[in-house]
Structure 1
Amino acid sequence: MPPIKPTIRTILPLIASSILLPLAPAAAQDDEQSSETATPVEPQNVIVVTGEGLDETPAAPAYSSITLERAQIIATPSGRLEDVLGAVAGFQQFRRSDSRSANPTAQGATLRALGGNATSRALVTLDGVPIADPFFGYVPFNSVAPERLGSITVTRGGGSGPFGSGALAGTIALESAGYSELAPFEGRILANDRGETESSAILSSRLGAGFVTASGRWDRGKGFFTTPEDQRVPASARASFDNWSLSLRGVAPVTSDIELQANALVYDDRRTLRFEGADSTNEGQNASLRLVGRGGWAFDALAYIQARDFSNVVISSTRFTRVLDQRSTPSTGIGGKIELQPPVAETHVLRIGTDYRRASGTLSEDAYSAFSGALTERRSAGGATSDLGFFLEDDWTPRALDGKLVLSGGIRASLTRVTGGFFVRRDPANVVTERLDAPDRSDWSATYRAGVLYRVTDAFALRAAAYSGERVPTLNELYRPFVVFPVETLANPDLTNERLEGFEVGFDIVPQTGVELALTAFDNRVEDAIANVTLEENLRQRQNLPAIEARGLEFDLGIDLGRIAFDGTLSYTDAQIEGRGPSLALDGNRPPQVPSFSAAAALSYRPAKDWNVALTLRHVAEQFEGDLETDPLPAATTLGIYAHIPVTDNLQLVFRGENLTDERVVMRNSGGSLDLGAPRTFWVGIRMDLDRR
């Protein structure tokens, strides 16, 4: 299947049909009810839809996880999803930069200090659909506004269930807010002390026995200087940004225990990085249909399509002229899953299913001379990867132990394929000077997951788990070389799949109502880990390292006393590269961009309805820019604040403060050339919620 150029014209019909389809039965039911107003509907006949997937299985608590609820998601100082996820210690992107000032391709998500090369090692899903870019593997954080979400569940450690091939380091499950969590209208508009603006609106309405939500968000601003003042030149530019997203979601009942869910998302994201003219664009359109049944034979059937495009202009850091124009990177992701939970026995919850993912894309870019500005060569690369998986998992709660013990075991078999790979260089006259046609390859593999949870008392539980995981190289890693002057990084079509083996033990304590504490010790090892390996002073290549070993501790604490709540997490990890042969010099080094310690805390005060004042703290220990540990990124601690205070019944004043102490946070260090994170920033605005009452 050739890659689809992602434009509104190509995908709009699918988006429209995906939303209108579930609304038809809902509207019909609404008409039916209105024609029978003389006969009230009895409570037992009321159909309630949730817009959620299947319920959590009994063994889910056996694996180290943390859930962020809607109140915590909204109360973020920056209003950005990656900042929300920063509340989970151990979560990291490739760089510390947020989605206003980072190159989008550097925003891969990972967990447990396993590092990376900007590709996601964690599986990130929105309402069950993987959302990573099909070509690069980064997560388009700007496309998901936090205020649209109802919860986020972060599960650390390898996964082997649906789409498990992407869950090497864990799973980040984003769930949209349902009708019961949203007001009929929610809107907000804010501005900061640099004149930047953020505006959003959400509409939610019943439609028969179902519901529909529509939302939009637009962020824009001139940004801040990422370049330190003493390193700026006339060509230095602020990290300006302009991005918007629109989403439409419909949920309708098919029968009393089956519901149909449809989602559509369109977004556009434009940024400037470091120099005038260093502009990037990131656009996409997503659509999905999901059928969820909660009867005796529970099931979850899902299908999705994604169309994406990315462009980027690279400016020379010495002559400040255009040296590379990544004109277009159209890519397509398609996939789906079918999961069944048959009623095999009262003490067992059995999951059986299959899933499929395919990513295809093509890169087109032009290189220019930094001295003359003349075109020097044209490059193109692309191909396709796919994964077909079959999974089975069983949770057993022995009746003899009165529910105190839960045993879980699961296995996944995957057929991964890499096909159609190519890389071509052409001179300015469009004559081919180099061509690579990579051979197609495929491979069967198996991953597993097993866990045990034992509740010693109602307040104390022990758990242990072992698992494996796998990740297929992205098209970017396989076929696209790139240059960040003066360093050139070569692609590698011979990259093999990454594989994780790990285990963990821990306990959960609930000493009293509203207080939860968890401690987890883990040991994870990624074999054939893909990294940018230094070959010479200014030359690197993506290679499979022998392994990355990460051992550590995770601590989570949640306290909810009604008006006052505290959520804190910390992670300590001893992560090392195992090097042999060409990577022997890296043996014992810490993986690039990986801190040994990170912590996050949030203290909120809610004295009355519609009041919330929250302080957030983030700390990240020292990291290194690259594999040779030569360019440090110093430790950084930031403090933020969020507050919304009611003015009337439906109107609140919103105040946010980022980096209140104006900490100097180094995001990039290339031989002393630095990029910095957001300085102290204050936001003020209003929020309107129309209450259903």
Structure 2
Amino acid sequence: MARAQQAPASPIVVTGRGLPETPATPAYDTVEIERNLIASSASGRIEDVLSSVAGFTQFRRSDSRSSNPSAQGVTLRALGGNASSRALVLLDGVPVANPFFGYIPFSALSPERLATVRVTRGGGAGAFGSGAVSGTIELETGGPDTLGPVRGNLLVDQRGETQSSLTLAPRLGQGFAVASVAWDRGKGFWTTPADQRVPASARARYDSLSGALRAVAPLDSLTELQASVLLYDDDRQLRFAGAESSSSGQQASLRLVGRGDWAFDVLGYVQAQDFSNVVISSSSFRKVLDQVKTPSSGYGGKIELRPPVGSRHVLRLGADLRIAEGQLYEEPFSAATGARTAIRRAGGRNSDIGFYLEDDWTIGDLVLTAGARADRWRVADGFYREADAAGVVTIDDSFAERSGWEGNFRGGALWRASEAVALRAAAYTGFRQPTLNELYRPFVVFPVTTLANAELKNERLEGYEIGMELTPREGLSFSVTAFDNRLKDAIANVTLSPTLRQRQNVDAIHARGLEFGTSAQLGSIAFDGSLAWTDSEVEASGVSANLDGRRPAQVPKLMASGTLAWTPRAGWRVAGTLRHVGAQFEDDQETDVLPAATTLDGFVQVPIATGLSFILRGENLLDERIVTRNQSGSIDLGTPRTVWAGLRVGLR
């Protein structure tokens, strides 16, 4: 009897990614940064990579080598005004913002590990959408196909600072692993102008170390397990000797992805972070505040299911959970005597559980999408305690628990009118909880004190946009988006007197603008450009009425970036990036101006042997004066001209 012929086994394809993007993803204003742009950043920092998307801003213009970590909040579309992040930042699906402050630990996110970066400007209602009032930034770790089995960099600049990294991405059976370490250290540059330096002035010294380990393994032909660990430690000195700040963290996640008919994505994560900071008086040059520690933890996860509902529909059903808790311990000191004057503790717990659904419906050349999200939020265990130098309690405040439901929606349409023209439109709402920092922690940037506010309300977004994509020929594309976003109850640092501010909800921040993008590949020459023009203003009444009609602090009207690259042959790359950031105000009263700045960066890679290349990088080659802080004429400066040279190993 003849033996029955056995059906061939299904091939196992391991991607290390989550579920694929849905057909309606292009209905929103989405920009993808490819690997070649990520790997040729002039600074080797992720915030530099993200700056190629116009509209991306941090609270201050400084990069993560020369800024206080707590000022590293990110936002999009000119919806800023304080140091918290209004954009959701995900690393392989996991939110990475500090649970207490909401800042992004940029020094932990090495570009050398990444395959792609996707930036969506505008609110979202999908997974973890409760933090995406201005948009979402998704970072995706690479694997052997994009990184190669061995990749490393070793560079030094003219000040003797070093930047080094090593990434191993071996295939293990039918899966793979990625192990990576990055170490940046240096004496830093002078952030204080020469004519304002005093004997206590110091360079912006930095020392940051991060490591990551990721393993991906198939469980069967359609299911894979992804496990990730991220660790980092960062130490900096800012402006004055002894003004030390440090941040550290550990993060672990486990993800199960199924790509069968009933596709699913199950993710769980836990993170622990800490922050400390010493503030030095700019008059007596004594320590006036020691933020001894700010331990915080975050944990949560998501479950998403995509049931088979027909070839023309992609239905997403999901739930997610985010919990953030933490507290601070700090000690103020007398600027005159150096003696401790008080002991402060504050903290609390925020939680959010969300449920979402979204459906994409493809009708020929038209894709329609609609989604809804319901969130149960809670603010609990809030407290502020202060004792005198002897430990006698003088303030002991406990704040009432608050909770509620928020409902949000988004919808859009994408019409591919022809092979060369695509039209899109979208409308959305969203919300963001105040961070523990905004609720409970006062702070001082001498001589201005900013008070916390435990009664802050959630921020709520309403927005809509229309856009067009033109692709007149292969390798050439243009895009334009017009948007109108209104962030109600926006949290701002409101000036109450010349030396006193408080975090308060203003009526709204209203931002309207245009975003342009272009990409061209003409043989060995490529160009990628982005421009954002935004008219953003505060709507305010009551105690903050004097802000009405003003531009939010730290928000420029115009941002533009363009990168021209030449790759004459495999392994070679010569690129230049021109960026412009318009003038912006340091404060909500529009009194202290940060002038516009235009910078030119450069990158050169020349192969010198198999798997070995010479790298030459230049930051701010024209040595533009970049003012990052201006407080009544006392200013800080950003990165001066910096030239790096070194070697890159890349084996295939």
Instruction: Please give the range of the TM-score, normalised by the shorter of the 2 chains.
Output: over 0.9
Structure 1 residue 466 and structure 2 residue 431: aligned?
Answer: no
Residue type at the aligned position of 1:90: G
Q: In structure 2, what is the Cα distance between the partners aligned to 1:249 and 1:543?
A: 41
Structure 1 residue 129 and structure 2 residue 94: aligned?
Answer: yes
**528, 543, 568: which one pairs with 1:567?**
528
**Which residue does 2:467 correspond to in 1?**
506
Instruction: Report the CA distance between 1:562 and its aligned residue.
Output: 3.6
Residue type at the aligned position of 2:397: L
Structure 1 residues not aligned, in runs of 5+: 1-40
Residue type at the aligned position of 1:93: Q
Q: In structure 2, what is the Cα distance between the partners aligned to 1:368 and 1:192?
A: 38
Q: Where does 1:581-660 land on structure 2 (aligned, <5 Å)?
A: 581-660=542-621
Instruction: Report the CA distance between 1:467 and its aligned residue.
Output: 0.2
Asked if 1 retains the 8 angstrom alpha-carbon contact of 2:143 and 2:177, the reply is no
Structure 1 residue 317 and structure 2 residue 282: aligned?
Answer: yes
Structure 1 SS opposite 2:367:
strand
CA-to-aligned-CA distance 1:138-178 (integer Å, 9 cap, x gap)? 00000010010000000010001100000010000000112
CA-to-aligned-CA distance 1:216-239 (integer Å, 9 cap, x gap)? 000000000000000000000000
**235, 239, 245: which one pairs with 2:210?**
245
CA-to-aligned-CA distance 1:566-622 (integer Å, 9 cap, x gap)? 000000000000010111101110000000000001011101111111101110000
Structure 1 SS opposite 2:26:
helix
Structure 1 SS opposite 2:36:
helix
**Which residue does 2:3 correspond to in 1?**
none
Instruction: Report the CA distance between 1:116 and its aligned residue.
Output: 3.0
Instruction: Report the CA distance between 1:345 and its aligned residue.
Output: 1.6
Q: In structure 2, what is the Cα distance between the partners aligned to 1:177 and 1:207?
A: 15
Instruction: Report the CA distance between 1:561 and its aligned residue.
Output: 2.2
Structure 2 residues not aligned, in runs of 5+: 1-5
Query: 4+ runs of 1 displaced by more than 2 Å?
Result: 41-46
**101, 111, 115: which one pairs with 2:66?**
101
**Which residue does 1:18 correspond to in 2?**
none
CA-to-aligned-CA distance 1:505-531 (integer Å, 9 cap, x gap)? 010010000011110000000000000
Structure 1 residue 416 and structure 2 residue 377: aligned?
Answer: yes
**Which residue does 2:40 correspond to in 1?**
75
Q: Where does 1:341-490 land on structure 2 (aligned, <5 Å)?
A: 341-398=306-363, 403-490=364-451
Q: In structure 2, what is the Cα distance between the partners aligned to 1:592 and 1:368?
A: 29
Q: Where does 1:28-107 land on structure 2 (aligned, <5 Å)?
A: 45-107=10-72
Structure 1 residue 217 and structure 2 residue 217: aligned?
Answer: no
**Which residue does 1:19 correspond to in 2?**
none
**186, 189, 197: which one pairs with 1:232?**
197
**Which residue does 2:132 correspond to in 1?**
167
Q: In structure 1, what is the Cα distance between the partners aligned to 2:521 and 2:441?
A: 49
Q: In structure 1, what is the Cα distance between the partners aligned to 2:477 and 2:213?
A: 36
Residue type at the aligned position of 1:73: I
Q: Report how many residues are paired.
A: 647
Residue type at the aligned position of 2:633: G
Structure 2 SS opposite 1:158:
coil
Q: In structure 2, what is the Cα distance between the partners aligned to 1:64 and 1:690?
A: 36
Q: In structure 2, what is the Cα distance between the partners aligned to 1:421 and 1:617?
A: 46
Residue type at the aligned position of 2:429: S
Instruction: Report the CA distance between 1:458 and its aligned residue.
Output: 1.1
Instruction: Report the CA distance between 1:42 and its aligned residue.
Output: 11
Instruction: Report the CA distance between 1:344 and its aligned residue.
Output: 1.1
Q: In structure 2, what is the Cα distance between the partners aligned to 1:42 and 1:473?
A: 57
Residue type at the aligned position of 2:208: N
Q: In structure 2, what is the Cα distance between the partners aligned to 1:564 and 1:165?
A: 41
Q: In structure 1, what is the Cα distance between the partners aligned to 2:434 and 2:46?
A: 25
CA-to-aligned-CA distance 1:368-394 (integer Å, 9 cap, x gap)? 001111010000100000110000000
Q: In structure 1, what is the Cα distance between the partners aligned to 2:556 and 2:650?
A: 40
Q: Scaled by the length of structure 2, what TM-score is found? A: 0.98
CA-to-aligned-CA distance 1:166-224 (integer Å, 9 cap, x gap)? 00100000001122112211111000000000000001111111001100000000000
**495, 510, 515: which one pairs with 1:534?**
495
**Which residue does 1:332 correspond to in 2?**
297
Q: In structure 2, what is the Cα distance between the partners aligned to 1:664 and 1:468?
A: 39
Structure 1 SS opposite 2:437:
helix
Asked if 1 retains the 8 angstrom alpha-carbon contact of 2:115 and 2:147, the reply is no
**272, 293, 296: which one pairs with 1:307?**
272
Instruction: Report the CA distance between 1:43 and its aligned residue.
Output: 8.4
Instruction: Report the CA distance between 1:46 and its aligned residue.
Output: 3.5
CA-to-aligned-CA distance 1:547-579 (integer Å, 9 cap, x gap)? 000000000001112411100000000000001
Structure 1 residue 158 and structure 2 residue 119: aligned?
Answer: no
Instruction: Report the CA distance between 1:502 and its aligned residue.
Output: 0.2
CA-to-aligned-CA distance 1:342-388 (integer Å, 9 cap, x gap)? 00122110000000000000100001001111010000100000110
Residue type at the aligned position of 2:183: W
Q: In structure 1, what is the Cα distance between the partners aligned to 2:95 and 2:380?
A: 21
**Which residue does 2:236 correspond to in 1?**
271
Between structures 1 and 2, the one with greater helix share: 1
**Which residue does 1:25 correspond to in 2?**
none
Q: In structure 2, what is the Cα distance between the partners aligned to 1:556 and 1:436?
A: 50
Taking every aligned residue pair, what percent have the same amino acid on both sides? 60
